[in-house]
Each structure stands twice: as structure tokens, then as C-alpha cells.
Structure 1
């Protein structure tokens, strides 16, 4: 093979315009034709240049173990073959170059930063937006090293993470400080070769600084408004209770009914305000879990007693199905109370007036699994993946719409996550739902 390469290179010396290195020449010999000493075994060979737009770009070498193996007909045939191959490859090259230019135009026009990394040779390809980000925050030219240092990442570590997860990876990258601070949402995906093997990655950087600032302002607004509403609403509730109890004077049956309706709506308003405040605290990181030793049997009995009065008003029943002794766990009892209350309240709203709601709890795989089961209308499959999203509500007919703004279940998910647990739901339309959450025993 080395000998053949040298012969081809010697042949190419007669063409000063041709620039082909030895490592660019590929020689393939069928296994059944391999012999120990190629030098001297080849009796005749033939070289044909390949041209593209009057520029040579390659060479075909044909060799034989026979002397005088090629005649003029062979020469004409090989020249025609080279010419036709050159035309085909030239057109293919034009198509590839055209597609590359189109792709580069698209990449350059993307408003987000884009970085492509090839793990085979460590090369990178960036668009102007990514170049500007790296130069601004590193003060250096765009190289693999400057990118990794600026973003505090390792492309090889990201590749390993992609191989393990077999999906995209998302990261938040924060650059600069104070007025120069920018926040980028980085989405990383595989680059695969035709055989499906990962040969690199592509990272898209989207500037989400304004979105994060708007989210912060929204949280502050909701928190401030909720605080302002909570105090007067609590005062209204207190005075309604005073009037309803007859402390301010005797009231008749009809007046008592009106006051009861007012009290129910004020309590509903206070629950909404509390949910808004809790979500604001969770999103801002101000919600702290106060872990204590919790006797689940006692806590679940206490929760049942506090909630069943509310359900009895609707003609509903609350059952508790738990073993005699559940393990003591480290958790925030107030948070657990809110988790189960929100689940039961959700079941109450979507169940008929004579239905039974059941709280079940059991130990499995070193976790405590709790389920709130109802026999309500159920949830169709297309909604199951979204019901734990903030403010997500299932569209219902006007006469069947329920109270709430879609915060109860998202708060549950956040509280369970803060405890290191999981939350999920199983449901069947017209048969009911079972909302689960699990908490680690240790």
C-alpha cells in the first residue's frame, strides 16, 4: 500500500496544480489479492486524473499483476470512466456546497447562539451570536477552550451525559454581573453519524434574561397583592363569624343562611390567597421545609377529622385506609397537611355529592406511598401530563366549571419535590382518579 501511494504521488508530480497529500490517498486491495511483497509483484498500473471545473481534485489508480495488462482500449475506457465520474462528483460537490451555504445562512440567521462540537477531531462550528457571547464574556477568540471556560462546561462531560440519558440536556448558564448579567437557557442535543453513533453535539443558547426578570416582577406583584388582600379578607371573615354567632345581636334563619354563603366565599378567597403566597414563596426559594419526626398515623387521622366536616356539607364522605403502624418519617407536618388537603379538595370538586373519597397509605421500597382516591368524572389521557402545571385547567362546559385557578396541584408537586419525593396520577374517565405521592422513609 505504501509503495502504491508513492507511485501515485510520483505520477502527480507531473501536475504542479495538483495538491494531494499521501494521507489523502486511500488504497483498497481485496483480501484474496494481498501478497507479502507488493513491490515488484505489480507488473503494470494505470493512473487517471479526475477534474472538476478544470481543476484536478483526485486520481484513480488501477494496477495488475500481469505485464502489459492495459491497452489503448483500456486507456480510453478508463479515461471515459474518469470523465463521467468527475462530472457526477463535480455536480455532487456543487450540490453539497450549495446545501452547506444554505445551512450556513440559516445558522447565521438564527437569533440564538449555536455551537456545534465534533468529538472526532475536537472541532467547533459557531454562528455570529455565539461568537459575540464568547468574545464579550471571555475577551478572547472563539476556541474550544475559551467556550468551555466562559460557560464553565465540558463538552466531553455533556457528551457522556447525553449518551447516558439518550435525550436532550438543558442547563441554565449565567454570565456577567449586575447590569451586564445575562441568563441563557442552553439546550444540548446529539449529533449522530449515518450509523446512528453519537459523534458530537449541538448547543443552542437562548437569552432568557428578560423572561426571568418578568417572572421575578410577576412573583413580587402576586406576593404583594396577596399580602394586601389577606389581612382585610381575614378581618371580613372574623366579622362574618361574629354576626353569624349572634354576638352583635339576634339574627333570623334567612340572615344566617346569607352569612353562611358569605363565609364560604371568604374562606375560598383566603385559600386562593394562601395558594398564591405559597407558590410565590416556592418559586423565589423562600419556602423552607421544617423537617420534624412525623407520626403518619396520628397526622392522617388529624387531617381526616379536619377535612370531613367540609365534605359532609356536600354530602360526601372521607374514609381513611391505613395500616395500624406506619414508620415515623422526617417531614414538614404543615406541608404534608397542605399536600393532602389540596388533593382531597381537588377530589371533592370533581366528585358527585354522594361519593366517597378515600385516603390510603402504605410502605413500599423504603418509601411511604399515599393515595387520595375518588370516584369522580376522571381525567382524559391528553390532560394527565399537564395537570401539575401552574394555572393549567381542564376546559369544561360553562355550567360545570369549578372554583380555583389551577394552583392546588402544582403546589402539591413542588412541596413533594422539596421533600425528595414523587407525585403522579392514575385516572379513568367516568370511573375516578387516584393521586399518589411518595416520600422517602429515611
Structure 2
């Protein structure tokens, strides 16, 4: 799949993920907000109903107080004057007052007069049974001037709101002659009046009898609060109780309200989904078109060029990309690499010729055979011994040869080398010379045997010297090639990396315009990872310089305490990400030391980076400095994972970490400790460490107090 399709899929995936995330977040936030508003509105409607009931209590209490503090009422309780009844307690009067029940109780607690009117029909009806016992046993009787009681009472027919006041003279002076009790039935008319006010539906249920399932389910929760439950897509219900005069629940009310707010929220959410989808499609298409025009098409040109060069093997071609951005510099880097590869190819050919010349100059006989034991190549010594030219020897089966070659084949049993075994031994030729013969299986990169290298050396004279010289030459050539390759690649990679880091830092500073949060996070990631990659490349370059013996030290005198404080400030941002504390304890008697200050800082940064990398969150790192004789000793101790005994032998090997698990979990090239050791040794010091698995590690080094020439 080409990069254009990958980018398209990536853009689609990113915008789909973003759209889904925004949709989910919006749904959660909006629906939650509308549910909260719906709950708040429902509680407000419940409060209206409760206020309506409380208003009725206040109304009953107001009438009871006016009538109870009336001289005519005070005398009526004593005389039961019929004129008082005719003029004040007629059915019409009670209808006008909207009061169902009047009870006059004397000071002895006996009901001296009672009246119960059905406000729907306007006719008087008998009081329910047990009312007299309820009055005597209940808390409604007033004993002092300021006594009053109100609450819900359950009659057989229905619940009733009652309010009572003491009967006094109009000057509010005693003695208390009795109690006036007024009642308002919680009937359909009363409930309907509240429904008209609150624009909701109410259902009243007594708690002393069998309740419906929904009332029964929420009753335990409504004793001290309002319970709100959706009863369908279009209706929400609120449950609450009315207490009796003893403070215990007597009546439970369900208020049903329309879910207009919730429906409005869902409609807004649907509009938002459509807006997010349309925005995602437009932004996705715009991003794809922009990426195609700015990057993908140009990357395609680079890919086509590289593929064409690879197929045609023509290193003279050069890539032409317009612009002044990173892709332009990448194309320039590719052209530079082609120049280097072309030059390296010429050097390799030259070296190959040199190698052949060297091999031909050896007195040792070298013969390379294929897997059928036919000669593929032989040096001049072997050809001279066999008495043939190279063209005549090619394809010749060695076991069919006469003289020493055939004897060597039979003596070594070369067939066994095809199993991967190296065969060697000594052989005496008829002329009395002693030869050391060896057959080595040659494998390709996949490990498959492709031939046999046969050597035959007259060990009576110069076999050992020529062999060691040859091996040394090969090793030096390989090391030089490796160092040059690392240096060239590090240089070629650092140039575009510095550009990437520089431009990303400019974007972070927002000198050319503001970035949104997501763009700023991505640019920060580019800068951070670019700097990390540049650090790895610098390590490789330093390592190649050390290996090539080209590392130079610039000596200067500096304060150990100030330098360690500077290093701590540089490493603190990294340590703070894991909330790690770095403590420095240096002997103040240590004078200024003479060393390469930059290399000293590099050593300390490597040791502190490892300590931070392997330390647990909120750990502590101790840095100690002491003077022992003419040596300065520096130690860095962490509380990290420690090092198993099996992994210690690989600590200072290049490109190696403790184990495969660590290599996967912790980033790094495996060069940090190697560079530390090499730099310290260049100063004339040595590196040491102490570690215990699971209990942390201490890495330290010592260098002379005064090194280098002044």
C-alpha cells in the first residue's frame, strides 16, 4: 500500500475517532446537562405542589386563628347558641370558606359541635367514625394560649388536612375555653386545583393501605427526599410524602410531568451529530488534499527516483525537488548519499583489487570451491602449485586433480564441510614440506552454505606470520570501514535532523502564528523525538571517533560544585516527569579540577539519564563527590531495578543492554556506559559500579584532579 492510501486511511481514522470522541463527549455532557435541568425543573414543580399544600395549611390555620380568637366562638363553646350556628356554620358559609370540617372541642376535650360538608355537592354529611377518639387521643387539643397543630389525618374515606387553634377571647386572654379544628379533604377537587396551578398530573396514595407497585418500590426512599424517575420517553415522575401530625409519612404523592426539556436536548444532540459529521468530512477531505499537494506527491517523486536508481543501478542520476523545506533538504541529502555511495563503490573496487593483489602475493595457497567442489577462484600461489592458469582452473573438480590438490581433498574429507564443520589438519607432501591445510564452509546472510574456502600453507617458514598479518589487515579494514560509515551516516543524518528540530522549535515559539493545542502537542513531539534521535546520532559519532582514536580532549579548570549544580538544573525537567529528586553532596574542600568540561558533563548526563530511566516514580538519586589522594571520585546512586549478575558482563559492551526485556522497555542505543568508560579512560581514570537486583545501583568514576597539559 503506497503512502497516499495510508495517509488517506490515517486521516479517515483520525477524523472518525475525533468525531466519535466529540459525539460521545457531547452526548454525555449535553444529556447530562439536560437531565440535570429536567431534574431541577421537576424539583421546582414538586416545590410548587408542596407550597400549594403549605398554602392550604396556612389558610386553614389563618381561619382557625380568626375564628378561635372571636368572642362569639368563645361563648358558643360554653352556650352552644343556635343563632351562632345558623349565622356562621351554614353549608353556604363553609362552601365560601372552602372548608370541609368544623370541630368545636371544649376545655374537657369533648366535641361540642361538629360539621362535615361535601364541597362537591354542598351537602352536610356525617363525620366518619372514630373521629372523637382521634381528637381525644391525638395532639390536636390546645392546652395553652399559643398552641396550634396542623397535619394530615387519614379518615376512612380520604386524607384530610387539619389545623387547630386554641379558643380565646378577642383580647387573646385566657383561660383557654377549648380547641377549634378545621379540615380540608384531600379530594379530587383539591388535587385538581393543584394540577391546574402546576400544569402536571398528581396521584395521591395512602401509606396505610396497599400501594401500587411503583409507589411501593420507591416508598423507603421518599421519607426524607424527593425521588425522581423517568416513567417513559415522554413522562418523568416525582415521588414525595406528606407527613402527619406525628411527623411520620401519611400520604404519598406522584407528580407526572412532560419531558419537554429532555426531548429538546435530544433534538439538539441530533443536530450536533450532523454538524460533527459534516465538519469531519470537510476537514478530512481538506486535509487529504493539502497533504497530497504539500507532501505526498513530492514523496512519491522521491520514492520513484530511489526505485529507479535501485533497478537501473545508475548512481549518476540525481533527484530534483523544488522548494526550500525539509523534503528539499532530504532530496539534497539523498543526492549527497549517492555521491558518497558512488565514491564508496569506487573505493570498494579499489580495495577489492588491493585485496586480490594481497591474496595473490601470499605464499599461502587459497582456493574457493562451490558446493560441488569445483574451483571458483584461486590465488597465484595455488595456481602456481597446480601448474594451471585461473581460467583453466575455474570449474575444475578438485577431487579429480593430481598432485597435492587431490591428496588435500582426500585428506580433509571435504564432503563433511557441507554440514557446516570446519576441517583442518597437517599434511606432508611428497617433497618433504609440511603444510597446514584448512577447509572452511562459507555461508550467506541466511546461513546457507554457498562454498568452501580451502587454505594450504607451508608452515615450515612463514605460515603463522602471514596468517596473522592477513587477519590483522582484514580486521583493520573492517574497523576503518565501519568507523567511516558511522561518521558519514551520522553527519548526513544530523544535517536534516538539525533542520527538523530548528523548524519545530520555531513552530513551538509560535513566531509565525498561533497553533491550536493539538498542533502544538504534535510539534512538541517532533522536537522531542528529533532531539532524542540527534542525541543517539551524537553518541554514535562519539563512539566512532573513540574507536578511530580521533577523540580529542579540551582541558580547562572548573568548579566541580558549580558544574554539578548546572547538570542538575539541566536534568531536572526530565527528573520532574517522574517526580524524582536529585540530591548533590560534594566535599567543599575539593579544589577546581582540570579536565574536559564538556566531556565531564556528557559523562554525568549519561549516568544521571540511566539513573532516572531505571528509577521508580518519586524516587531519589544521590550524587556524591569526594577527594581521595590526587583522584576525584564521583558516584551516582539510584533506587531503580538494579542489575542481575547475569547481565553485568554486558554493561560496557557497545550496542548492548542488560537483557532483551530491558531493551524493549527502556530506550537507548547501549552506547551510554561505553562512552562513559572510554571518556573516563581518556582522562586517565576508571569506572566502577555496585548493584543489587531490586535495590538500585551505584555507578561512579574517578579521574585525576589535574589532567592534561597546561
What pairs with 1:94-133 in structure 2 (closer than 5 Å)? 109=436, 128-129=458-459, 131-132=461-462
Which aligned pairs between 1:28-427 and structure 2 lie closer than 5 A? 109=436, 128-129=458-459, 131-132=461-462, 184=469, 207-397=471-661, 401-427=665-691
Specify every segment of 5 or more residues in structure 1 that has no aligned partner in the other structure, as ranges: 1-101, 112-126, 137-181, 185-205
Partner Cα separation in structure 2 for residue 292 and residue 392 of structure 1: 33
**Cα 1:437–1:250, aligned 2, differ >3 Å: closer, same or farther?**
same
Q: Distance in 2 between matches of 1:109 and 1:232?
A: 53
- TM-score, normalised relative to structure 2: 0.35
> Where do residues 11-26 of structure 1 align in structure 2 (5 Å cutoff)?
none
Alpha-carbon distance in structure 1 between the residues aligned to 2:647 and 2:682: 24
Superposed CA deviations along residues 314-336 of structure 1, whole A, max 9, x for unmatched, are 32222211122312222000010
Deviation per CA, 1:243-288: give whole Å up to 9, x if none.
1121121112222222222221111101001101111111111111
What is the SS of the residue equivalent to 1:311? helix
Rounded to whole Å, the distance in 2 between the matches of 1:376 and 1:241 is: 33
Q: Distance in 2 between matches of 1:398 and 1:383?
A: 11
Q: C-alpha offsets along residues 334-366 of structure 1, whole Å, 9 cap, x if unaligned?
A: 010000011111112112232122211111132
- In structure 2, what is the Cα distance between the partners aligned to 1:303 and 1:317? 14
Query: Structure 2 CA distance, aligned partners of 1:222 and 1:399?
Result: 22
Q: Give the secondary structure class of the aligned counterpart of 1:425.
A: strand
TM-score by length of 1: 0.55
Q: 2:648, 2:658 within 8 Å by CA — same for their partners in 1?
A: no
Secondary structure of 2:622's match?
Answer: strand
Superposition deviation, residue 133 in structure 1 = 5.1
Distance 1:270 1:381 in 2: 32
SS of alignment partner, residue 652 of structure 2 = coil
Q: Is the 8 A contact 1:375 1:431 kept in 2?
A: yes
Distance 2:545 2:662 in 1: 32
How far did residue 313 of structure 1 move?
A: 2.5
Structure 1 pair 247–366 and aligned structure 2 pair: CA distance change class (3 A): same
Question: How many angstroms does 1:403 deviate by?
Answer: 1.1
Look at both structures and tell me which one has the larger radius of gyration over its CA atoms. Answer: 2
Report what 1:166 is aligned to: none
Unaligned runs of 5+ in 2: 1-423, 429-433, 439-456
Distance 1:105-1:339 versus aligned 2 partners, 3 A rule: farther
After superposition, the Cα gap between the structure-2 partners of 1:243 and 1:183, relative to the gap in structure 1 and judged at 3 Å, is farther
Q: Is the 8 A contact 1:295 1:327 kept in 2?
A: yes
Higher relative helix content: 2
The structure-2 alpha-carbon separation of the partners of 1:135 and 1:277, relative to structure 1 and needing over 3 Å to count, comes to closer
Count residues in correspondence. Answer: 261
